[in-house]
Structure 1
Amino acid sequence: MTENVRAGQGTRTAGGGSPDDAAVVISPAFKADAPRQYARLRALGPVHRAVLSSGLECWLVVGYEAAREALTHPALRKDPRPAAATLAAAGYVLNQPGVGLGGQMLEADAPEHTRLRKLVSGAFTPRRTAALAPRVQRIADDLIDALGPAGETDLVASFTAPLPVTVIAELLGIPPEHREDFRRWTSDVLDVTAAGHASSLAGLHGLLGELVAAKRRRPEDDLLSDLVAARDERDGEDRLSEQELIGTATLLVIAGHETTVNLLGNAVHALLRHPEQLRLLRARPQSLPGAVEEFLRYDTSVEHSTLRYAAEDVRLGGRVVPRGGVVAVALSSAGHDAPQADGGDPAALDVARPAARHLSFGHGIHHCLGAPLARLEAVTALGTLLRRLPRLEPAVPLAELAWIPSGMMRGPLSLPVRYEAAPAPR
């Protein structure tokens, strides 16, 4: 998400500052080579000036300890008003109150965050999530069945994307005919530089508005109907505003599948790059839950956090972020800087690593509410691939894969593979 920091390779000196304070600049080339680029940044320090792909100037946190501090620092808040001038200069509206993705917990500070999170947290408890396991397994098996006995496929299009899309759509009560639209729109919404960002956001909000109206007329046993009830039937502090209803539904659609799509794509890519790890995982499928934590650490799908804004001057990682400064935490970089319990090399993929330490689900009050569901989907999906595809190999050189070129997500746009499939146990 940032450009190379060496002279002549995309640095930009902000405000006439010295070369030592040059801002690192986003580029698609960086995102395709993110692990190596972050390693170079960490060698220079835990916090850097940066320019995001939207043109927004920020402070990029790449070190683990500084990242943990930034994610919980009381002066780094979601209220964007101190950074109004910086946001306006970049034409940045995504996190402004009342527009974009406003009106939901990820862009709220306490106590608003506490109230909004409480209204949906019951749907994502470990017990409620575990009850979804048989359905998630059936979806995974159906997708493998649809591949045929052998051949080539783009695994993103045929498996890693449709599985989480189907799961979150069924959980929310989104009809099948709208799921492709949601998938396309959410990719654009997460990237403010995308040509279709504004129209996709409008389409997403419009369709959610139509679905909310339909749930009002005829409630069903789904999470979207529950949110409508929280808007219409409760009083006082427990009641959602209409903006919060649409904002929360938007967040659940996006965060409920886009992150898992790319977690699965990154995990399969990592295994194809490290066939010895693929063989080890096939031989020890019982280690899958721990391996998922390693995939989250090694190449997480959320490359950097949502933004935070300094309500006052903040000392972070040896730098001073001034009041109004915008802070982005590079979660993927933090995973490669986190001290591991086994003392092993954090740059290496080790599917047998015990208790991999990472910040891929965030830290503090904004820790990912859907983490239990993401873990269930990842264990189920990867376990199904290991059992059902005894032969799985890249169909193109892995170095030629295209990656998400901008925005906060990291993942391959496609993953062409050759496979042989085994029937599902019935």
Structure 2
Amino acid sequence: MTGTRALSKYWMLTNDFTQNPYPVLEYVRRESPVRELSFPDGGRAWVVTRYEDAKAALADPRLSRDVHVHYRLMSERTGRTMTPPPEEANHLANLEPPRHTPLRRAISFAFTPRRAEALRPKVEQIADELLDRLAGLPRPDLISGYADPLPVIVIAELMGVPADAWPDFLRWSTALRTHSPTEGSGALDRNIQELSHYMSALIAEKEREPGEDLLSALIHADPERRLTSTEILSTGFALMTGGNDTTASLVGGVIAALLAHPAERAELLAEPGRWGRSMDELIRYVSPIGNALQRVTTEPVELGGVTIPAGEVVVISVMSTNRDPHQFPDDPDGLDLTRPKPAHLSFGFGIHYCSGAHLAKVITEIAARRLFERFPRVRFAVDPSELRYQQNVVVRPLEALPVVF
């Protein structure tokens, strides 16, 4: 690449970028670190690629995560009135202060490191059960058989969802991940309605008969920390969709990275106490979040020397920031489990930092550790160059990860 015209105006939406984004991101980060991206529907966004600019953007209240602001912008661009469904419009990831603040406070108790650590035995049990199902297969797929179902089952268990509903939750989670609010088939609405109907009935049941689970704790919380039924429903949606997607992408990515780095894998297996200390470097290297959830500027904002007008979409490329040499000067494209303080942005920054970050780390650590402890000779069933990533603006999941045990 010798000039900015070497890139298509749809540069981040191409399949070549999806499969290998890092050379393009290195070029953009160097030449035009806040760069325009066009969409086929005529819309555009501004992509932020440098670590310091991204960190500033994530903490700037002028870049809004309020879902109502986003839907107003989509309405203007499509020429038809669009409003967010209540299931999407009432959880903290899609709101700004003042509404964001009490929601964050209300659920923070459920995602403390201590609570996440307490789930370790249950996560190990679920991981082993999934591996038992794969053990006899000649070429198991670790995405569909392991990385995808593991976080769904763990989060369903956390919420008190009965085991017979777990397959439905996996189906809903997959469907919601692969549809856009602007597509017209109606599939998104149907899946939202199905999940909403089930969750509403489950909430009503736990109002009558609470259990030892997250939904019951939210429903029967102290008055000053209690959410409305709609907010509880919306929080459940956020956990069963966004929480599953990011963690599944992380699990698959970390396992693939360790399959491709046998020396690092051997070090972890020889010294199990290093797993926890190595997770942040693995997450930085893998970047399971391709881009942070989009923001909309509520007034003009200057980032990286570019003034972005009000009413514009801003995309923060986490994949790029996690390999910015100004933040990670020692071989940013390499996996170094001894790297000091790899302060990646995969879980965000500021008030929207992921509440479930520690739980995601616990699930991923256990998933990788149990796989390699039980099957130390596991290897790729295909050449690693044949692995393919799904095209998705937010998460970066592998389509499949076939292995031989």
Q: Same fold (TM over 0.5)?
A: yes
Q: Which residue in 2 is equivalent to 1:373?
A: 359
Aligned counterpart in structure 1 of residue 214 of structure 2, from 198, 223, 228: 223
Aligned counterpart in structure 2 of residue 119 of structure 1, from 88, 95, 106: 106
- Output the amino acid matched with 1:11: K
Greater Cα offset, 200-209 or 302-311: 200-209
Q: Which residue in 2 is equivalent to 1:21?
A: none
- Output the amino acid matched with 1:408: V
CA 1:84–1:160 in structure 2 vs 1: closer, same or farther (change >3 Å)? closer
Deviations 1:167-199 (A, max 9, x none): 111100112222222222223323443763332
Q: Which residue in 2 is equivalent to 1:65?
A: 52
Q: 1:9 Cα shift?
A: 5.3
CA 1:135–1:103 in structure 2 vs 1: closer, same or farther (change >3 Å)? same
Q: 1:39 Cα shift?
A: 1.9
Deviations 1:295-317 (A, max 9, x none): 21112222111122212111111
Deviations 1:105-162 (A, max 9, x none): 0011112111001111111111111111121122222222333367321011222222
Indicate yes or no: 2:274 matched with 1:287. yes
CA 1:27–1:347 in structure 2 vs 1: closer, same or farther (change >3 Å)? same
Whole-Å separation in 2 of the counterparts to 1:298 and 1:400: 19
CA 1:59–1:74 in structure 2 vs 1: closer, same or farther (change >3 Å)? same
Q: TM-score normalised to the size of structure 2?
A: 0.89
Aligned counterpart in structure 2 of residue 139 of structure 1, from 126, 129, 138: 126
Whole-Å separation in 1 of the counterparts to 2:305 and 2:175: 35
Deviations 1:31-69 (A, max 9, x none): 222223322221223211123588652111111011000
- Output the amino acid matched with 2:24: Q
Whole-Å separation in 2 of the counterparts to 1:302 and 1:218: 37
> For the Cα contact (< 8 Å) 2:87–2:230, is it kept in 1?
no
Whole-Å separation in 1 of the counterparts to 2:153 and 2:12: 36
Deviations 1:259-303 (A, max 9, x none): 111101011122233334333433443322232211211122221
Q: CA RMSD in A?
A: 2.8
Q: Which residue in 2 is equivalent to 1:74?
A: 61
Whole-Å separation in 2 of the counterparts to 1:27 and 1:92: 26
Q: Which residue in 2 is equivalent to 1:309?
A: 296
CA 1:370–1:53 in structure 2 vs 1: closer, same or farther (change >3 Å)? farther
Q: Which residue in 2 is equivalent to 1:151?
A: 138
> For the Cα contact (< 8 Å) 2:93–2:352, is it kept in 1?
yes
CA 1:393–1:84 in structure 2 vs 1: closer, same or farther (change >3 Å)? closer
> For the Cα contact (< 8 Å) 1:60–1:329, is it kept in 2?
yes
Q: 1:397 Cα shift?
A: 2.2
- Output the amino acid matched with 2:119: L
Indicate yes or no: 2:342 matched with 1:356. yes
Greater Cα offset, 372-381 or 84-93: 84-93
> For the Cα contact (< 8 Å) 2:87–2:237, is it kept in 1?
no
- Output the amino acid matched with 2:133: A
Indicate yes or no: 2:256 matched with 1:269. yes
Indicate yes or no: 2:251 matched with 1:253. no
Whole-Å separation in 2 of the counterparts to 1:26 and 1:387: 38
Whole-Å separation in 2 of the counterparts to 1:91 and 1:192: 17
Whole-Å separation in 2 of the counterparts to 1:338 and 1:9: 22
Q: Which residue in 2 is equivalent to 1:242?
A: 229
Greater Cα offset, 373-382 or 143-152: 143-152
Q: Which residue in 2 is equivalent to 1:42?
A: 29
Q: 1:219 Cα shift?
A: 2.0
Q: 1:375 Cα shift?
A: 1.2
CA 1:67–1:395 in structure 2 vs 1: closer, same or farther (change >3 Å)? same
Q: Which residue in 2 is equivalent to 1:18?
A: none
CA 1:275–1:340 in structure 2 vs 1: closer, same or farther (change >3 Å)? farther
Q: Which residue in 1 is equivalent to 2:152?
A: 165
> For the Cα contact (< 8 Å) 1:339–1:357, is it kept in 2?
no
Q: 1:373 Cα shift?
A: 0.7
- Output the amino acid matched with 1:295: L
> For the Cα contact (< 8 Å) 1:47–1:317, is it kept in 2?
yes
> For the Cα contact (< 8 Å) 1:156–1:415, is it kept in 2?
yes
SS at match of 1:320: strand
SS at match of 2:342: coil
SS at match of 1:151: coil
Structure 2 spans left out of the alignment, 5+ residues: none
Correspondence list, 1:6-25, <5 A = 7=5, 10-11=8-9, 24-25=11-12
Q: 1:371 Cα shift?
A: 1.0
Q: 1:339 Cα shift?
A: 4.3
Q: Which residue in 2 is equivalent to 1:296?
A: 283
Q: 1:334 Cα shift?
A: 0.8
Correspondence list, 1:405-416, <5 A = 405-416=391-402
> For the Cα contact (< 8 Å) 1:25–1:52, is it kept in 2?
no
Aligned counterpart in structure 2 of residue 185 of structure 1, from 172, 181, 192: 172
Aligned counterpart in structure 1 of residue 370 of structure 2, from 384, 391, 401: 384
Whole-Å separation in 1 of the counterparts to 2:159 and 2:350: 26
Q: TM-score normalised to the size of structure 1?
A: 0.85
Aligned residue-pair number: 400
> For the Cα contact (< 8 Å) 1:266–1:412, is it kept in 2?
yes
Structure 1 spans left out of the alignment, 5+ residues: 13-23, 420-426
Greater Cα offset, 408-417 or 272-281: 272-281
Q: State the identity %.
A: 34
Deviations 1:196-237 (A, max 9, x none): 33322222222212222222232222111223335xx83xx6
- Output the amino acid matched with 1:329: I
